[in-house]
């Protein structure tokens, strides 16, 4: 094959196309990604392109075609290795590589032993694109002479690459709003922005938190520690140890807001079971209890429960700081001899749970692979709550006791889809399809909780357990204010929006006879000290920002992640101060002292997380490890 006059940039084009197709084939053959529609398929197809255009395009900055070709070959080899490494990693962990796991030797312990078995001769195909590029270079023999590329051409090329990137991001945003700000799931990231861009994104997130960590030293903890100690709430003597030795079951009720409790929709009771609990002699029902989550939604609520610290203002802390040192509730209960676990029938990498649960010292994560999802058992985001609870109780029956199981429900999740057989009440009739369906999925979840209690009783687990349930975050956003105002029969002001952030919180202690409605203002940050004290576990040395709601010292002051807050007297929302009992706007001066405290407290929490300060804290003695902090300084 003697050279025709091949265009100067043939090798560049061949490299881009070869690696592009290669990547797309690897997506389909090596990873198990759920593709639900044509749009997702299309995004998957185009998503490697923008990165490949950029990275191979850098060759345009070299003058000599030889150097250009050499750059292209080296790049293709590196990309093939990255893709192949992901494929091998996926064989083990059904997950994509994230930078922190490269430094987690425990993962690679497993990897090392059976690495041989998971590398096959046929894996050579992962390097097909490299071979194609080498052959092309050999056969096409593109002109040896130095050719300078006009800056205008180069500019046009990179504008094109940027356009492809924006097209990709635009489509991804339509398919999965807030993908990058919330960064839900590695699989979702790879599906939408491509494996290469995903690694860049991961690099950015990890290096940002790494830099903040490197700049922090333990001396910052002195001030935080003083604040925590001065706000500490002593346990209530009558409540402390009330549930000593029992199993702890914590249920995260997806998207459940408090406005549905003891309420009806066009004459239909929405939560008959939970309503019965609000009047139950063994149940504390908190009616002025707020979620405090940010962009990390469910995972933020988990973070609050485990750590009694605030999640972050931007991004999901489960993603950004899973490499941190934490002293979680699971860790405390491990030390008390509990078998600690989380149950959630979704892919384990969602919200980076698989990684974060290691940092939180959760002993076992029952993910979707620990459940049998039969035909008809799934709807919307995955397994339905009723079979989920049923199989979870089966798992519990096998666990060593006492156990701490945290269960995360899923059916009452946006877009609130439900099959007809599970619709116990009709939809609502507002202009918002979302709100209309919400009542039905809430009603379903209520039914699921009822059957969960029955399952626990049937397996003999009920009497010796304490069951704590909380709504994880809002389900109906402010986009549905018109419909909400029709339902509630009042205008949705910033004050009302703030009050709508109330989520139900139940503490059910079978046969205790001490239950009642609790009206104090509290939030998710208070869950951990409250529970630990009920189990008879001291928290005086814990670095936590919440307080036991049963304590005399508990203050009616709950801070939202956005800096707003609620006290028994005031609500601060949308930069305005309101009278909590009437909802009328009042002079900002009333809120001012709390505004400062809210900023201070959120700031301390952020400092702990961003600086990874708990590595300088000995949770057993309560000592600050400042000397070691000094040692770590560069």
DSSP class of residue 617 equals B
* Three-state secondary structure string covering 16-64: HHHHHHHHHHHHHHHCCCCCCCHHHHHHHHHCCHHHHHHHHHHHHHCCC
Site for ligand GP9 in 439-498 (CB under 6 A): none
Q: Where does this chain touch ligand GP9 (CB under 6 A) — which range of 12-20, 70-78, 408-416, 587-595?
A: 408-416
Active site residue 558: no
| β-bridge mates for residue 266, sequence order | none
Q: Given the complex with ligand GP9, which of 562 and 567 has the nearer CB atom?
A: 562
Q: Is 472 annotated as a binding residue?
A: yes
Nearest to 80 by CA among 149, 20, 9, 156: 20
Q: Given the complex with ligand GP9, which of 246 and 297 has the nearer CB atom?
A: 297
Query: Which residue's structure tokens are 């936590």?
Result: 544
For residues 104 and 90, give the distance between their C-alpha atoms in angstroms, rounded to a whole number.
Answer: 16
408 binds ligand GP9 (CB under 6 A): yes
Binding at 236: pick from ligand GP9, Mn ion, none (beta carbon under 5-8 Å per type): none
Residue 352 main-chain phi, psi, to 5 deg: 60, 30
Q: Is 254 annotated as a binding residue?
A: yes
Q: Given the complex with Mn ion, which of 254 and 548 has the nearer CB atom?
A: 254
Q: Given the complex with ligand GP9, which of 232 and 434 has the nearer CB atom?
A: 434
Q: Where does this chain touch Mn ion (CB under 5 A) — which range of 41-49, 81-89, 161-169, 296-304?
A: 296-304
Q: Is 238 annotated as a binding residue?
A: no
For residues 255 and 378, give the distance between their C-alpha atoms in angstroms, rounded to a whole number.
Answer: 18
Q: What sign has the CA pseudo-torsion 48, 49, 55, 56?
A: positive
* Three-state secondary structure string covering 393-405: HHHHHHCCCCEEE
Smallest gap from Cβ 526 to ligand GP9, in A, equals 21
| Member of 129, 187, 302, 472 binding Mn ion (CB under 5 A) | 472
Q: Given the complex with ligand GP9, which of 557 and 560 has the nearer CB atom?
A: 560
530 binds ligand GP9 (CB under 6 A): no
Q: Which residue is nearest to Mn ion (CB)?
A: 298
Other Cβ atoms less than 10 A from the Cβ of 485: the count is 15
Query: Are 441 and 412 a contacting pair, CB within 8 Å?
Result: yes
| Member of 51, 96, 284, 350 binding ligand GP9 (CB under 6 A) | 350
Active-site hit among 283, 298, 320, 539? 298
Smallest gap from Cβ 473 to ligand GP9, in A, equals 7
Site for ligand GP9 in 317-346 (CB under 6 A): 344, 346
Site for ligand GP9 in 9-38 (CB under 6 A): none
Binding at 220: pick from ligand GP9, Mn ion, none (beta carbon under 5-8 Å per type): none
Q: Where does this chain touch Mn ion (CB under 5 A) — which range of 6-14, 92-100, 382-390, 467-475?
A: 467-475
Binding at 350: pick from Mn ion, ligand GP9, none (beta carbon under 5-8 Å per type): ligand GP9
Site for ligand GP9 in 279-308 (CB under 6 A): 297-298
Other Cβ atoms less than 10 A from the Cβ of 276: the count is 12
Q: Are strands 403-408 and 339-343 parallel, antiparallel or unpaired?
A: parallel
Other Cβ atoms less than 10 A from the Cβ of 513: the count is 8
Structure tokens at 265: 């929709």
530 binds Mn ion (CB under 5 A): no
User: 3-state class of 120 per DSSP?
Assistant: coil
Smallest gap from Cβ 472 to Mn ion, in A, equals 4
**Neighbouring residues of 270: CB distance < 8 A, sequence distance ≥ 6:** 260, 263, 264, 425, 439, 442, 443, 446
Q: Is 320 annotated as a binding residue?
A: no
Q: Which residues bind Mn ion (CB under 5 A)?
A: 254, 297-298, 472
Residues annotated as part of the active site? 298
Please report, in range form, the residues annotated as the binding site for Mn(2+).
254, 298, 472-473
Please give the residue ranges that form the binding site for ligand GP9 (CB under 6 A). Answer: 297-298, 344, 346, 350, 408, 410, 413
């Amino acid at each position: 094959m003697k050279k025709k006059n091949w265009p100067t940039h043939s090798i560049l084009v061949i490299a881009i196309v070869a690696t592009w197709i290669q990547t797309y084939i690897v997506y389909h053959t090596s990873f198990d990604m759920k593709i639900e529609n044509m749009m997702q398929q299309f995004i998957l197809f185009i998503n490697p392109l923008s990165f490949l255009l950029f990275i191979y395009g850098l060759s345009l900055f070299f003058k000599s075609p030889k150097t250009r070709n050499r750059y292209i070959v080296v790049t293709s080899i590196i990309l093939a290795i990255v893709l192949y490494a992901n494929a091998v990693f996926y064989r083990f962990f059904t997950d994509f590589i994230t930078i922190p796991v490269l430094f987690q030797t425990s993962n690679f312990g497993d990897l090392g032993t059976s690495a041989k078995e998971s590398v096959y001769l046929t894996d050579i195909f992962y390097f097909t694109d490299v071979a194609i590029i080498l052959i092309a270079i050999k056969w096409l023999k593109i002109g040896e002479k130095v050719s300078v590329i006009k800056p205008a051409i180069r500019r046009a090329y990179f504008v094109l690459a940027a356009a492809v990137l924006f097209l990709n991001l635009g489509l991804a945003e339509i398919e999965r709003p807030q993908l990058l700000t919330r960064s839900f799931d590695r699989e979702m990231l790879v599906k939408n922005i491509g494996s290469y861009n995903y690694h860049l994104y991961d690099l950015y997130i990890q290096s940002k938190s790494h830099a903040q960590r490197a700049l922090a030293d333990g001396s910052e903890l002195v001030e935080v520690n003083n604040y925590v100690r001065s706000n500490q709430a002593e346990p209530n003597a009558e409540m402390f140890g009330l549930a000593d030795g029992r199993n702890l079951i914590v249920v995260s009720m997806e998207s459940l807001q408090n406005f549905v409790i003891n309420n009806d929709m066009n004459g239909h009771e929405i939560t008959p079971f939970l309503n019965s609990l609000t009047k139950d002699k063994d149940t504390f029902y908190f009616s002025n209890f707020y979620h405090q989550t940010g962009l990390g939604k469910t995972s933020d609520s988990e973070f609050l429960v485990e750590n009694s610290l605030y999640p972050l203002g931007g991004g999901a802390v489960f993603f950004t700081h899973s490499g941190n040192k934490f002293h979680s509730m699971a860790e405390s209960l491990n030390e008390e001899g509990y078998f600690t676990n989380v149950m959630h029938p979704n892919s384990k990498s969602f919200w980076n749970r698989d990684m974060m649960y290691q940092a939180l010292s959760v002993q076992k994560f029952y993910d979707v692979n620990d459940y049998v999802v039969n035909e008809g058992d799934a709807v919307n985001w995955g397994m339905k709550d009723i079979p989920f609870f049923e199989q979870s109780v089966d798992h519990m029956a096998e666990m060593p006791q006492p156990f701490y199981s945290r269960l995360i429900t899923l059916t009452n999740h946006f877009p609130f889809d439900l099959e007809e057989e599970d619709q116990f009440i009709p939809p609502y009739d507002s202009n918002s399809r979302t709100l209309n369906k919400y009542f039905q999925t809430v009603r379903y979840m209520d039914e699921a909780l009822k059957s969960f209690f029955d399952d626990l009783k049937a397996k003999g687990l009920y009497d010796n357990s304490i069951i704590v349930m909380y709504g994880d975050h809002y389900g109906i956003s402010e986009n549905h204010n018109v419909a909400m105002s029709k339902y509630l029969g009042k205008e949705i002001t910033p004050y009302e929006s703030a009050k709508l952030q109330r989520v139900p919180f139940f503490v059910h202690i079978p046969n205790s006879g001490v239950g009642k409605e609790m009206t104090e203002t509290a939030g998710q940050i208070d869950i951990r000290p409250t529970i630990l004290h009920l189990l008879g576990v001291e928290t005086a040395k814990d670095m936590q920002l919440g307080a036991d709601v049963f304590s005399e010292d508990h203050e009616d002051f709950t801070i939202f992640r956005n800096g707003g807050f609620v006290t028994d007297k005031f609500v601060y929302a949308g930069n305005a101060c309101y009278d909590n009992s009437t909802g009328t706007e009042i002079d900002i001066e009333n809120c001012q002292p709390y505004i400062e405290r809210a900023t201070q407290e959120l700031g301390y929490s952020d400092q702990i997380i961003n600086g990874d300060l708990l590595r300088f804290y000995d949770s057993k003695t309560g000592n600050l490890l400042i000397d070691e902090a000094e040692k770590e300084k560069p």
